[in-house]
């Protein structure tokens, strides 16, 4: 039951702050970081695309390059609803919604559904360029079991 509290709390916070946030335009960022799954840590890299408004929608896709050496493509995709709280040169971003972990290899492909909740901080350098840091909590379903993963990523963001 406690595992479902984080996404619900994030979604409630999104609704609370949604009316106070100005539109920010479209943005794309390249990011890299670390995902922790059980006792393992994996390097990840990818991209995030978002359109900002009162409520934004983000799409993030990251791959784990280590698996490319084994002729496999492993990654995670998040589609999230987000709210933005401006704090001067920084903006705090709250996110929640579904996730999918996927692996494609010569023997076939698998996908595992889940959900995520996250917190990001975007520091504006000038009106078009910013840097961002994100923390994402995910729960992925594998059979009857649900497994937690966490990611920390950092990246550069370009606004249109």
Domain count, the chain: 1
Lowest-pLDDT range of 34-38, 46-50, 54-58, 124-128: 54-58
* Sign of the alpha-carbon dihedral angle for 20, 12, 112, 120: positive
* Helices first, then strands: H and E counts in the chain: 1, 8
pLDDT by residue (tens digit) across 69-94? 888 889 988 888 888 888 887 888 88
- CATH number for the domain spanning 84: value is 2.40.160.20
Residue 50 CA to residue 27 CA, distance in Å, equals 5
Q: Tell me the residue range of the domain where 28 lies.
A: 2-159
Question: 155 to each of 49, 51, 131, how far by Cα in Å?
Answer: 12, 17, 6
Q: Is the pTM of this model over 0.85?
A: no
């Amino acid at each position: 039951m406690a595992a479902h509290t984080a996404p619900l709390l994030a979604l409630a916070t999104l609704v609370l702050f949604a009316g106070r946030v100005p539109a920010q335009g479209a943005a794309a960022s390249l990011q890299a970081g670390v995902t922790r799954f059980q006792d393992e840590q994996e390097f990840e890299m990818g991209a995030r695309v978002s359109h900002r408004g009162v409520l934004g929608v983000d799409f993030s896709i990251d791959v784990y390059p280590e698996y490319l050496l084994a002729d496999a493509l492993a990654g995670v995709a998040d589609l999230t609803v987000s709210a933005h709280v401006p704090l001067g040169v920084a903006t705090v971003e709250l996110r929640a919604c579904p996730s999918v972990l996927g692996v494609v290899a010569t023997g076939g492909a698998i996908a595992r559904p889940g959900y995520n909740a996250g917190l990001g901080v975007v520091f504006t350098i000038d009106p078009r360029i910013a840097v961002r840091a994100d923390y994402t909590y995910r729960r992925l379903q594998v059979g009857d079991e649900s497994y937690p993963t966490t990611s920390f990523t950092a990246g550069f963001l370009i606004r249109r």
